Chains A and B, each alone.
Chain A
């Protein structure tokens, strides 16, 4: 079946260091890959996304890379700050046919940025 594996499940980094979270998807027809940040007691918030026709996308301290051949994509956060501490989810999406599309979410990575 379709699934998205996400690693690591927890990640602790020192403030100012970089953090990398990786996801691997199984459905080669997936063509849209968002990343969400979920803070305690809140709903997930979209922080960056990438489509399958692009290999990399950057937004200030956050970047996402996509390797379609290997079917994996990664979130990179540079110069981490305490407010980056949260749970991060990746997702893969494809449109199959009317009424059967949805995201497949990864299992989440709890990132702790240590001051």
Chain B
């Protein structure tokens, strides 16, 4: 399809619980990106994939965050032992290229609330 599908739209977790977010990129887009958007609207880059391979993971807090993009499955972002500061909107985006500047197509986001 022509849109990036993110599920769920909203997720509420108690502190210490696990959260898992999903993203189906646009067909034909081989690059997937995850961003975290917090209250001040700033985008924090987390991780990117080229197909199922990690392309850039310099933004990932590795001790609790993990991500995968497996063939024929939605990509996923998992947060183990959530903390209050993980509350944010998580956006997934896909792009057709990683070696030339191309616009991203963003999903509508997953709002994670940690209580």
Contacts and interface: CB of A to CB of B under 8 A. Distances in A.
Interface of A: 31-32, 34, 36, 38, 41-46, 49, 51, 87, 89, 93-95, 99-103, 105, 107-108
Nearest to B103: A46
Given A44-B106, A105-B43, 10 more contacts: A32-B100, A46-B104, A49-B101, A89-B41, A89-B43, A95-B99, A99-B54, A102-B58, A103-B104, A107-B41
Contacts of A100: 56, 58
Nearest to B42: A107
A99 B106 contact: no
Task: Identify which of B4, B98, B103, B108 gathers the most chain A CB atoms within 10 Å of its CB.
Answer: B103
A49 B93 CA distance: 16
Interface string B61-103: 0000000000000000000000000000001010000111111
> SS class of chain B's interface: helix, strand, loop or mixed?
loop
A34 B103 contact: yes
Interface residues of B, number: 28
B108 A42 contact: yes
Contacts of A44: 91, 104, 106
Contacts of B99: 95, 101
Interface in B21-61: 33, 40-43, 45, 48, 54-56, 58-59
B7 interface: no
A108 B42 contact: yes
B107 A31 contact: no
A101 B56 contact: yes
A43 B45 CA distance: 15
A102 to B, nearest CB: 5
Given A43-B107, A43-B108, A99-B55, A31 B41 contact: no
A103 B45 contact: yes
B101 A51 contact: yes
B31 to A, nearest CB: 10
Contacts of B59: 102
- List of 3 A-B pairs having minimum Cβ-Cβ separation, nearest first: A32-B101, A43-B106, A46-B103
